[in-house]
Amino acid sequence: MTKKIVSNDDLLANIIKGIEDVKGADIDILDLREIENTVCDYFIICNGNSNTQVVAISNSIQKAVSKELHEKPWHVEGTENAEWVLMDYVNIVVHVFQKHVREFYNIESLWGDAKITSINTNY
Give residue limits of the domains in the chain. Answer: 8-116
- The residues, any chain, with a CB within 8 Å of residue 47's CB and separated by 6 or more, are 24, 25, 26, 54, 96, 97, 98, 99, 102
Q: What is the distance between the terminal CA atoms of the chain, rounded to a whole angstrom? A: 42
CATH topology of domain 8-116: Beta Polymerase; domain 2 (3.30.460)
11: closest CA among 84, 59, 66? 66
Query: What does the pLDDT look like over 36-94, one tens digit per residue?
Result: 999 999 999 999 999 999 999 999 999 999 999 999 999 999 999 999 999 999 999 99
Q: Output the pTM of the full model.
A: 0.92
